[in-house]
Copies of this chain bind each other. A is one copy, B any other.
Amino acid sequence: MSLNFVFIGAGNLATHLSQAIVKSGNNLLQVYSRTESSAKELAEKLNTSYTTSLNEINIDADIYFVALADSAFSEILPQINFQNKLVVHCSGSLPLSVLEKYSANFGVFYPLQTFSKQREVNFAEIPVFIEANSKENEAVLFQIGRQVSNSVTILNSEKRKYLHIAAVFACNFVNHFYTISAEILKEKEIPFDVLKPLILETAKKVQEIEPVKAQTGPAVRFDENIISSHLEELKGVRNFAELYKSISKSIFEFQQQSE
């Protein structure tokens, strides 16, 4: 079964998801974005049309995918007449119910990954979490999910919110520590390249070993000499000493508990 889609939003997630859906043999009728350059770029890539005007959104789609920043929902969605077609959002943190005022048919399609436009991802490996207002809509989303991914799970809004929080720690906060380490190296003119094998191995390790058991380094031993010498070095460098202290403390507490 081939379905007709419209994408509301043309950011990182929209770019990758719409591509995967088209590859699976569905039709992308149109891309909408407030930002013309984004709408145009994605539409051209997928050989379809685009609009920046809410009045011109194609009314013939079977499914409308909403891939907007959470904060844009309440501004943009009331201006679209979905005619009770299936409307689906892709947000980890918003509940299913935010869509109930816009259509009689609605659902959530949440692919758990970090997307950047310039980076290819293998969509098949991305876990997708779905939820819908009815068994029928759930079945439609499940089918689309299986077309693009090997892993599709039905998950309610409350659990999805926690999943999103966990992802913020495991991805955004992790990436921030990569950023901090890059900053520390830059000040000493050491190339960031030297950290790359360590970063990759740290991520690979927890593919096999439970993270709490994979922990190494001064904080897990609570090596006070190293910790206080590091704090001394970080003094006055942004808020790094403060972060270093609170995280070392947190690591030690966790390890104590898990032993």
Interface residues in chain A, defined as those with a beta carbon under 8 Å from any beta carbon in chain B: 12, 69-71, 93, 112-116, 118-119, 121, 125-127, 151, 153, 155, 158-159, 161-185, 187-188, 190, 192, 194-212, 214-221, 223, 225-226, 229-230, 233-234, 238-239, 242-244, 246-247, 250-251, 253-254
Contact = CB atoms under 8 A, between A and B. Distances in A.
Contact of A216 (B116, B198, B201, B230): B116
Contact of A71 (B158, B219, B225, B251): B225
B114 A201 contact: yes
**A126, A194, A244 — most chain B CB neighbours (10 Å):** A194
Contacts of A250: 176, 180, 238-239, 243
A178 B188 contact: no
A166 B234 CA distance: 11
A221 B11 CA distance: 13
A176 B210 contact: no
A240 B164 CA distance: 14
A175 B219 CA distance: 11
B203 A184 contact: no
> Nearest 5 pairs between A and B by C-beta?
A203-B203, A172-B217, A178-B211, A166-B181, A170-B181
21 contacts: A93-B230, A112-B197, A113-B201, A114-B214, A114-B217, A161-B229, A161-B230, A166-B184, A168-B218, A169-B180, A169-B244, A170-B198, A172-B215, A175-B216, A179-B211, A179-B251, A180-B250, A182-B210, A192-B211, A200-B203, A200-B204
